[in-house]
A and B are shown apart, each in its own frame.
Chain A
Amino acid sequence: MNTQFKKGVLELCALTALTTGDLYGYELADMLGKKITVSEGSVYPMLKRLQNEGYFETYLIESSTGPARKYYRITQQGLDRQRVLQEQWCEFTEQVNSFFQEAE
């Protein structure tokens, strides 16, 4: 899949994944990497960007088996952003799908 295209979707998926609960960096990278076959390395820059834009907050939790884990928590601003992006996505895919149906 096109990388530019994926980049936009990646943001929406990260926001969506965090609506159900906080996750730490590796969990998010692993999940996104597997589900939308994006290179996991590009998840971290995206997370940092969204954090800078105020959509996420981070906090550390000590782990008994290793170093502290950095957890991501979605903010109210992030929830609003997720809703807007999801609406746009659904609208867009409907339009594209109707285009396919006409072509058949």
Chain B
Amino acid sequence: MKRIDFLNELYHYLRALSPEERNDILEDYRLHFIEGEKEGKSEEQICEELGDPVECARQYVGDLVVVEAEPTPVKKSKSAKKKKKNRIDKETRRKIFWTISFIWNIIQAIISVPTTCTIFLVAAIMVVFFCFVVPLTGSVAFFFFGFFATLSVFLLGVIVLLWTMIEIKTCINKINGEGK
């Protein structure tokens, strides 16, 4: 293990503390590495002497906060066990729901991009088509038909474009949200 790995892991498991306290604690270990290296020890050797960073963190914050690193089997009453199981189920359900909705968002985003392009392309073709055809026929009704048909296709394109942007934004928000 390298110095950076040790410090990162320690910092991570101290997350229950305030940033000032975390930095204060980290400072002690940073100085320890510097002093150790002055004595000619390697980073790996110092890490070995320091021991497990999770164990160090545990001594600052107690068992509760680092429990995810090493689930310790604790005897619990039946109801407490059940409660915990329910909580896990709820968490799993939430995760499954999140994943499905996320995939759905991605699918929508992927589909809507070519859809938008196609619709705008159709609108453009229609404009060109009517520009050529309307003067040939000289019909006013046909002109209005062409005008409104093109306009509605164009508006549909704008709606789908907005929808695409919303879906992409939702995806980005979800990725950021889950990262925290």
Report whether over half of chain A's contact residues are helix, strand or loop; otherwise say mixed. Answer: helix
- Residue of B29, B35, B51 with highest tally of chain A CB at under 10 A: B35
Indicate if A44 sits at the interface (CB-CB under 8 A): yes
Find chain A residues with CB under 8 A from B52 CB: 39, 41
B interface residues, how many (CB within 8 angstroms): 18
Across the interface, A44 reaches (CB within 8 A) one of B29, B34, B36, B49, namely B29
A45 touches B59 (CB 8 A): yes
A interface residues, how many (CB within 8 angstroms): 19
Indicate if B55 sits at the interface (CB-CB under 8 A): yes
A44 touches B38 (CB 8 A): no
Indicate if A29 sits at the interface (CB-CB under 8 A): yes
A65 touches B50 (CB 8 A): no
B55 touches A26 (CB 8 A): no
B25 touches A48 (CB 8 A): yes
A42/B59 contact (C-beta < 8 A), A25-B28, A33-B49, A48-B25 known: yes
A39/B49 contact (C-beta < 8 A), A44-B28, A44-B32, A66-B34 known: yes
A25 touches B50 (CB 8 A): no
Interface string of A2-33 (1 = CB under 8 A from B): 00000000000000000000001110010001
Residues B76-124 near A (CB distance < 8 A) = none
